[in-house]
Amino acid sequence: MKVEQAKERATPVATEDASARFLLGVARKRAHTAMPYMAARFTAMWFALTDAPPSPPTVNASGRVDVSRAYIAQLVGDAREALRKEKNRDAGAGADYATVGRWLACDIAHAALHLQLKLWARCGARTAPLWTLAQCLAINSLPMFKHAQWTQHPGTRRPEAFGFEPGLSSDAYYKLLADKFGANGGQASTERDCPACMGASPSQGEDTEFDPVRDAEVDARVAAAVQAASKSAPGSVPSDLVMWAHEQARPPRVDWRSELDKLVRRAIASGVGNAHVCYDRPSRKQGGVGFGPGRPVLAALRGASAHILVAVDTSGSMSDLGEAVLGELDGVIRAAGASCWLIACDAAVAAPPVRVASLSEAKGSLRGGGGTRFDPIFTEAEKMKPLPDAVIVITDSYGSVNQTDPRIPTVWALVGGADRAPAPWGRAVVVREDK
């Protein structure tokens, strides 16, 4: 008889809508308390109960969170089974719902971070299943989920399950997953993966409820709250969210497209309309009309490009200038497009140059904290093949340089009130902050 009762308790039970909405309300309040800087985003989210098979909630661009009734019933069953195994007789009535509320709070925070960081928009040419799983691992391993106020479901997929180090970026996990499972993802996904990560990412194009004006207002409020929280309590906000807030709130002060054009004397081909007609190589359509006498020669459309090396001074004196650095770095990357290489340097170069296409990809390379020497930057630049067309150094100018004038055009982007370049050669651009 006792065995039959135990089985009955472990079986997921049907949860009424009123109870489900109560649990979701409790979970959102718990998430709101733990992440007050995300208040605007949590308030803009709303829940819709569905009859879908049990799986974690999904979220669309308008903020609608689809929650399966069967999923909540499954969580209730899992909570009762966990309490039974613990033999927690002092838990009292409602202990199973309290456990479910903590699990759902993590799910809601997970969905909100997907919506706020908009990681799905950076998939690009990556394999979608691997990229979306990489997002899941990056969010689930955020340091905040280790705090006492968070309790993740025991089945939550974490990097440790794959043998990966926790706390890495989505880009880093994507590379690790591709190496482990191959380009198509193999057996990387399971039924416990977040559907918002596994192919059900928000899509504005299919979401008729999406209001871009309202979404921009929510973004602005969250960005301001994140910056305020990160300043008043450093380390209390996930670094990915701080990076996103800086990117939203601090546009570049320098017109880097114009600066790069002056450096290389050519237009940077990063957008539509920068192509020009040329006859130095055949058009790809020439085969359609044939070759030889009497055949028309079709012009090819080509865009000029420049390979830019951006060097970021990551010495100790730059520690309080993160907002200025990120703003200008974002501007350079957007202007240079896919031809931008990044290197971080304090007294030495942290790693060889890496190619980056967005500020989010660049953040993993910004390491340092020691003294400042600029010579290693140009030593690395001269090793690159082909040589970069220009080097841009973002610095507060506190440092030494013994390098003679290199054969590469150089711009010193001076932040933090600096008005004089550390070397007599190169072009100095003072980044002036708004008063």
Residues 6+ apart with CB under 8 A from 149: 30, 33, 34
3-state secondary structure of 383: helix
Element (H, E) at 176: helix 170-181
Task: For each of the domains in the chain, give its residue range(s) and CATH number, in order of start.
Answer: 2-246 (no CATH), 270-303 (no CATH), 308-430 (3.40.50.410)
Per-residue pLDDT of the chain (435 residues; tens, 9 = 90+): 444 444 444 444 444 788 889 999 999 998 998 899 999 999 999 899 999 888 888 888 788 889 999 999 888 888 888 888 776 554 555 778 888 888 999 899 988 988 888 766 667 667 777 887 888 888 888 777 777 667 778 778 788 888 888 877 777 788 888 888 876 655 555 444 454 443 344 444 445 567 777 887 888 889 889 888 888 887 778 777 877 787 775 666 777 767 766 665 543 443 334 455 666 666 777 777 787 787 888 776 655 567 889 998 888 777 666 667 777 888 888 777 656 889 988 888 878 888 887 776 776 677 666 778 899 999 999 998 888 888 999 888 888 888 788 878 888 988 888 888 888 888 888 887 654
CA–CA separation, 271 and 274 (whole Å): 6
Nearest Cα to Cα of residue 26 among 15, 38, 42, 40: 42
From the CB of residue 202, how many other CB atoms can be counted at a distance below 10 Å?
21
Spatial distance between the Cα atoms of 244 and 307, rounded to a whole number of angstroms:
26
- Show the DSSP H helices in 233-365 as ranges: 239-249, 256-264, 286-289, 322-336, 359-362
Per the confidence metrics, is the pTM higher than 0.75? no
Question: Who contacts 311 (Cβ-Cβ below 8 Å, separation ≥6)?
Answer: 342, 343, 344, 345, 374, 377, 391, 392, 393, 394
Burial call 157-181: b when 16+ CB within 10 Å, e when fewer: bebeeeebebebbbbbbbebbbeeb
CA distances from 396 to 256, 325, 369, 374, 422 (A): 18, 10, 14, 12, 9
Distance separating alpha carbons of residues 32 and 268, to the nearest angstrom: 44
Q: How far apart are the first and last CA of the chain?
A: 76
Report d(CA 133, CA 207) in Å as an integer. 22
Q: Are 44 and 214 in contact (CB under 8 A)?
A: yes
